Amino acid sequence: MTDPTGLASLSRGFRDRILDHDALTEQVNAWADAYPELCELRSLGRTPQGRELWLLLIGPEPGRERPSAWVDANMHASELAGSSVALAIAEDALRLHLQASAAVHGLPPHLCEVIREVRLMVLPRMSPDGAEEVLRTGRFIRSVPRDERPQRSPRWRSHDLDGDGLALLLRRRDPTGEFVESTEIPGLMLPRELDDVGPFYKIWPEGSIEGFDGRTVPTPTMTGDNSPDLNRNFPYDWAPEHVQAGAGPFALSEPESRAVVDFVAAHPTIFAWLDLHTYGGVLIRPLGTQPDNKMHPGDLAIWRELEAFMEPLTGYPMVSGFTDFTYEPDTPLHGDLTEFAYHSRGALAYVCELWDLFRVLEMPRPPRFVDHYGRFDRELLHRLARWDASENGSRVFRPWVPVEHPQLGPVEVGGMDIRFGVRNPPPERLPRLCEQQTAAFLRLVAMAPRLWASELRVTALAKGLWQLELQVDNRGYLATYVVPSSKAHEWNEPLRAEVAVDGGATLVDEAEGLRALGHLEGWGRGRGMTLGSPGFPRGSGSVSTRMLRWVVRGAGRVTVRVGSCRVGWIERSVELGGAQ
């Protein structure tokens, strides 16, 4: 199949800008309409505001079960860049199928062939309601723009006050305020220090106070008027709100998270999982709840393999979620999607925090990567403001505009629009970001388990009596169980062979009609798990191969089906009788 120009003509420009929901819908429908044999578009459900949760299935016979790789993005509303990267991965996968000779990210032909055998699943926007609100108003939303909690304590409600269509920040002079204005860059707000003489300011969301008593101003929180955080709502290690902020009333209480889990639980073929977020410039792998010495050593060795090629391709370090990304040391997050994908679904699941702002600002790396976020001192804030003015078109820092607040009196609104330059990269940097992350993820896809079966070999034993022989291999890097820690899952079933006969053929031993094969190892072992030291290299035995034999009597058709729900199925058939 060739398509030298058609794919490029279908692009809605997602590599250079963030698409709104209508444009994203046009993009995924354009691919599905143009290439129905390669691209199937499904809706996992509708959001409360009526937007579809679009999922692309990409590969020949997209509905056929086989090893599958999952990508999701934009579950956090303001983390928009992930949707562009997810769409770029989908487009590059289509290019691999449409242009057999195309060089994609420098991948050698044999790896391109492996990738073509894998089914790709892409959910480019998990929170379309939240993303649409952020794109339209600039209002900060963690995940979804709703709050259905029955209690109604006083809280901030974000909305536009000055009529510019944006809901950014609000500042008010206050002798107890925690902020002062920079003397170097007008309008830049800095954390207050002992030597400062004022004036001092409080900074709150642009908006008003719901349930205001006329005196008491509530402290804003990250999920103040948009309570559920989808990335705290997944069922693995879920904890209630008083333990985990943003958890929601119960695991999978939100239609978006429930739709994802309903789908992936029905598709155990998913072996790779990329969860796209912003910002930081880092790849976060399991474990999220324990240190590396508690991880299965076979799993850890595979993560070391990924780290070895992903860091050079992306420029991002790969870190442990527990060691480097708990906001409070030894206090894991609960209800996280990648922890669910890894522990409950046995997938090689990781987070990519796109946009390496810390490196752009030449910020020293702290001992724990997550501590970057709390180390924006005055020098770094000035550096950010200068960078915004010189290289980002002054997208972030906005002038303060006087407004008469209906509850608080004279205030000013504006300050910072964090959408492009802080929370997401400038649009000009999107193409390179798409290139780097797609190159890294497709190499992970090339590690897929690869079930292979020979043709059925037939030997005549006597008149009307036949021996059938079949060789079954796993020719992929990963084992058919994917990661060692997932072998214990009941759904992670071993391979089996099923024999069906028709016409006059019968199995001599009917019990051989269903045969358990067990799992097959892959050829890969990860880093640090070699089978021999230098000078004494040794490979494993026949751990990736099974030889199967049956004896059949009579003439007719024999079909052998080999596989499992974890890796899909292969069929081989032969007609017995006549000239054999």
> Checking DSSP bridges between strand 545-553 and strand 465-474, what pairing results, if any?
antiparallel
Same-domain pairing of 543 and 460: yes
Query: What domain range includes position 404?
Result: 147-225+389-416
State how far the alpha carbon of 95 is from the alpha carbons of 10, 18, 353, in Å. Answer: 12, 21, 25
Residue 353's DSSP bridge partners are: 277, 282
pLDDT at 48 over 90: yes
Domain count across the chain: 3
329 & 441 share domain: yes
State whether 165 and 309 are in the same domain. no
Q: pLDDT at residue 580 above 50?
A: no
CATH number at residue 557: 2.60.40.10
Beta bridge partners of 557: 502, 575
For range 133-145, the mean pLDDT: 95
Supply the pLDDT for residue 54.
98
Round to whole Å and give the CA distance between 280 and 382: 19
Query: In the 8-state DSSP scheme, what is residue 14?
Result: T
- E-assigned strands of 233-369? 270-278, 282-285, 318-320, 348-354
**pTM value?**
0.95
Give the mean pLDDT of 29-37: 97
Q: What is the pLDDT of residue 283?
A: 98
pLDDT of residue 510: 85
Measured in whole angstroms, the distance separating CA 419 from the mean position of its chain's CA atoms is 20
What is the pLDDT, as a whole number, of residue 532?
56
- What span, in angstroms and rounded, lies between the C-alpha atoms of 393 and 450? 48
8 A C-beta contact, residue 525 and residue 297 = no
Q: Is 177 among the domain residues? A: yes
pLDDT recorded at residue 496: 96
User: Which residues make beta-bridge pairs with 564?
Assistant: 568
Residues 193 and 59 in one domain: no
Asked whether residue 300 is domain-assigned, the answer is yes
Q: According to the model, what pLDDT value does residue 344 have?
A: 96
In a domain, 13, yes or no: yes
Which residue from 365, 418, 438, 534 is spatially nearest to 134, judged by alpha carbons? 418
Q: Is 432 inside any structural domain? A: yes
> Is 41 within the bounds of a domain?
yes
Average pLDDT over residues 349-358: 97
148 confidence band (pLDDT: 50, 70, 90): confident
Residue 330: pLDDT band by 50, 70, 90 thresholds? Answer: confident
Decide if 374 is inside a domain.
no
201 pLDDT more than 70: yes
pLDDT band at 257 (very low <50, low <70, confident <90, very high): very high
User: How sure is the predictor about 536, in pLDDT bands with cuts at 50, 70 and 90?
Assistant: low
Taking the C-alpha atoms of residue 50 and residue 47, their distance in angstroms, rounded to an integer, is 5
Q: What is the mean pLDDT of the chain?
A: 94
Nearest to 96 by CA among 117, 79, 78: 117
> What percentage of the chain reaches a pLDDT higher than 70?
97
Same domain, 14 and 70: yes
Whether residues 33 and 175 share a domain: the answer is no
Neighbour tally for 109: CB within 10 Å: 9
Residues 283 and 319 both lie in one domain: yes
Distances (CA, A) of 8 to 16, 133, 367: 14, 29, 44
Round to whole Å and give the CA distance between 147 and 129: 13
| pLDDT tens column, 411-460 | 999 999 999 999 999 999 999 999 999 999 999 999 999 999 999 999 99
Residues 55 and 202 in one domain: no
Residue 92 has pLDDT above 90, yes or no: yes
Q: What is the pLDDT of residues 373-420, one digit of tens each?
A: 988 899 999 999 999 999 999 999 999 999 999 999 999 999 999 999
pLDDT over 70 at 530, yes or no:
no
Residues 58 and 170 in one domain: no
